[in-house]
Amino acid sequence: MKQFKGLFLLIPFLLLSDIQFDGLVDKDEWQNAVRYDINVETRPSYNTPAEHKTDAYVMHDEFYLYVGFKVYGNKEFIRAQVRSRDGIFYTNDHVTFGLDAYGDGRYFIGFGANPYGSILDYKEGPIGEPERSYNVEFEAEAQFTDYGYDVELKIPFSSINYEDTDIKRWKIAFYRKLYNKGVESGYLSHKVIAGKGCLICQSPYFYELTDISQKSKKRLIPSLTANSRSFRNDSGAMVTDTIDPEISLNGIYEVNDNTFEFTINPDFSQVEADESQINVNSTTALRYPERRIFFNEGADFLRTDLGAVYTRSINSPDYALKVFNRGDTHSYYFLDAEDQSTPLIVPGNMRSYSALLGKSHANIFSYNYNRTNGQYLSFLATNREYEEGGFGRNYVSRGLFILDDKHAFRFELAQSDTDEPVSDLITTTAETDKYTYRLDGESFSGYGGLVAFSRSTENWFTYFQRATKSPEFRTDLGFTTENNWIRDDLWQRFEYRGTGLLRSANARLNASVSHNYDNQLLQQEYGINLNLNLANQMEFRFGYENNVKVMFEEYNFKNYSDYNFNATYSPSGNFYFRLGYSAGEGIARNIDTPSIGDRENYNLSTRYQFTDEFNVRLQYRYNSLSDQITKEDYFAGYVTSVRATYQFNKDSFIRVVHEYNDFNNDSYTQALFQWQPDSATIFYIGGTINQEDIEGTWVREGSQIYMKLQYLFNFD
């Protein structure tokens, strides 16, 4: 069928008759579909003709949207393995269908699959990284062919938020990732001009449809969890808890474009532990990614550069509920939760202080005024009230404006109101001129802000940002570890693209300066970074940073620098290797008198795919800082891990992880079996053993066995 640009054909009748959902895009089955070309290479080249042909097809029936891909050429270089959901983002060929049901660029959902039918899904807004933890209901089948491979996607309309109008006009885009003759490349269905707006904003393609069933989400997701924990009591004896089963219930109900989602007694434990972070020289709390399913939908309402919302601060609620409405021009989000135990971060002057309080009540409200091309105006409010008394509140306004094909502007303005609870869990004697960092019932208000300008062209990117957090600024439902600063950042980056050995490169100059609210210079630095991507799948990164002046608490340090080098090599889909090295000078922060020391860090990571189903990953991370005169270590140690995974199919795997932490002289071993046939149904059973190295002898300090069965009842 002839491809049209811009507005596509209105189809007042059903396109689908009897498609066989088997992963083969048969021309007779898809003859009534609308066809699109994925014919623009956007990576590593910049909007050049794609070397290999890729056809995409879209059609629908009353309940489903169907997308087909015929992927041609490059057969001998295809990289693909059987992976779990979202496991094909890296080192795998795949195709993706992007859908913006509102057509204004506020976000799009990506649905994708590789040649084995392993799937990925994500949500991507006008700025920032895609939300890869986002999951939505859809199916995929794929098969290798004599010309490449085919993929078929089946997406229920109930998985898509859209306007209830007679005629629906959805903006769409298509993407193909491949290793073209071994070079990682990206093809797109349209050109993307740097600075002109988000990826989906620039798509000229729409798919129009009518006469579809207005199915609404009606889902119940009960779950049963059970675990048994062993640990050493105060006398040193190992004791074992009795098995502790719990029942939880989640639900989703959609009516009149409003989506209600609730969870009662949720099991918010994670299937797998967070990757350990080395914090031996850190003076602030560490941030970990949000992976809990309940917070997937609506996360785009909550994203702020000032850290006003960090949903992992809702730790262990008795219940949580939310309602949101995407709307056309206006959209909103509201969340309410009663937390049993409340983590609190009190930001300070280059340090943070943490406490785990008792019960609290949390509310979040967000409103967006959506404009074209991903632009928006937004208001966000958060409130946390503590059982001990007191509250923490934030009010944030945000906006993004595309000024022309090159220039953009965005801002955030925030105010915080704090009435501290009274607790003895933070005991520091540190304080400012106006208040202490202890939880002693003080009341105050603070503010934060950010303004940013950018200029983007094919080869050049310029970015300037001024941001601040006042000494009284806090985010009790967010993630703020330091305040009392004003910071200016300036970047200038140059992009190069070629067709020879050097496929792409970029060089960046950056400078920043920050002051506190007493006009003391906190930091003045500049840096140079160079990235090189070669045609043989080797990538090199070099960086140099010079700190002209750094103030840490009442100590001043001048003219110290460091450099870093990273190399990655992935000659095939079976092997990946990364080496990172950095050295120079750094501040020893966690000693009585902070001092400059000699710093050296290593990071070694490798992954080998023995078969399509079995792979092993090894990682080694070493950090050290030593006195420049005596050469004695302020600290030195490493964290090493091995992770072996056997993927039975795209729904299930078994994984064994062992990690040793030299800083703590301890280790853990985890075994896990997981089955996940859809976005919410999941069964896993596993166990963890924790050990400690005591004078050269390994002693078991604790263990846990756990199980969870969660099932999606879909009444859509």
Residue 80 placed within a domain: yes
Residue 3 has pLDDT above 70, yes or no: no
Residue 20 binned pLDDT confidence (cut-offs 50, 70, 90): confident
Residue 9 binned pLDDT confidence (cut-offs 50, 70, 90): very low
C-alpha 225/C-alpha 250 separation (Å) is 14
DSSP state of 88: T
pLDDT value at position 1? Answer: 40
Please state the rounded mean pLDDT for residues 320-324: 94
Higher pLDDT, 447 or 693: 447
C-alpha 447/C-alpha 468 separation (Å) is 8
Residue 450 has pLDDT above 90, yes or no: yes
C-alpha 564/C-alpha 583 separation (Å) is 6
pLDDT value at position 349? Answer: 83
Burial of 448 (0-12, 13-18, 19+ CB in 10 A): buried
Q: What phi and psi, each to the nearest 5 degrees, are found at residue 68?
A: -120, 150
Please state the rounded mean pLDDT for residues 615-630: 94
Per-residue pLDDT of 131-143, as tens digits, reads: 888 888 899 999 9
Residue 160 placed within a domain: yes
Per-residue pLDDT of 47-87, as tens digits, reads: 999 999 999 999 998 889 999 999 999 999 999 999 999 98
pLDDT value at position 468? Answer: 97
Per-residue pLDDT of 134-189, as tens digits, reads: 888 899 999 999 999 999 999 999 888 888 778 888 999 999 999 998 888 999 99
Length of the chain (residues): 716
Residue 647 placed within a domain: no
What are the C-alpha distances in Å from 10 to residues 17, 102, 118, 166, 271?
18, 17, 32, 11, 45
C-alpha 107/C-alpha 98 separation (Å) is 10
HSE-up of 85 (CA within 13 Å, CB side)? 24
Q: Which two tokens stand for residue 678?
A: 């859809």
Q: What phi and psi, each to the nearest 5 degrees, are found at residue 282?
A: -90, 140
Q: What phi and psi, each to the nearest 5 degrees, are found at residue 372?
A: -75, 160
Residue 270 binned pLDDT confidence (cut-offs 50, 70, 90): low
pLDDT value at position 289? Answer: 67
Residue 274 has pLDDT above 70, yes or no: no
Start-end of H helices in 400-495: none
Pairing of strands 443-456, 40-43: unpaired
C-alpha 203/C-alpha 99 separation (Å) is 10
Residue 69's domain comprises 34-209
pLDDT value at position 5? Answer: 40
pLDDT value at position 288? Answer: 61
List the beta bridge partners of residue 9: none
Minimum mean pLDDT range among 287-291, 570-574, 623-627, 706-710: 287-291
pLDDT value at position 453? Answer: 96
pLDDT value at position 711? Answer: 93
Mean pLDDT of the chain: 89
Q: Which two tokens stand for residue 607?
A: 């992954």
pLDDT value at position 716? Answer: 76
pLDDT value at position 6? Answer: 41
Residue 434 placed within a domain: no
DSSP reduced 3-state for 694? strand
pLDDT value at position 281? Answer: 56
Per-residue pLDDT of 342-363, as tens digits, reads: 999 999 888 889 999 999 999 9
pLDDT value at position 214? Answer: 66
Residue 16 binned pLDDT confidence (cut-offs 50, 70, 90): very low
pLDDT value at position 12? Answer: 38
Residue 145 placed within a domain: yes
C-alpha 683/C-alpha 715 separation (Å) is 21
Most confident among 4-8, 241-245, 309-313 (mean pLDDT)? 309-313
> Within 10 Å of residue 237's Cβ, how many Cβ atoms?
8
pLDDT value at position 335? Answer: 96
Residue 7 has pLDDT above 70, yes or no: no
pLDDT value at position 272? Answer: 54
∠ CA 185-186-192, nearest 5°, is 135
Per-residue pLDDT of 277-319, as tens digits, reads: 555 555 555 566 666 778 878 888 898 999 999 988 898 899 9
Residue 675 placed within a domain: no
pLDDT value at position 56? Answer: 97
Residue 371 placed within a domain: no
Number of domains in the chain: 1
What are the C-alpha distances in Å from 524 to residues 454, 466, 477, 515, 545?
22, 14, 31, 9, 11
pLDDT value at position 8? Answer: 39
Inter-residue contact 165 to 202 (CB < 8 Å): no
In 3D, which of 513, 495, 481, 529 has the Cα closest to residue 44? 495
pLDDT value at position 296? Answer: 79
Please state the rounded mean pLDDT for residues 688-701: 85
pLDDT value at position 276? Answer: 55
Question: Which CATH number does the domain housing residue 151 bear?
Answer: 2.60.40.1190
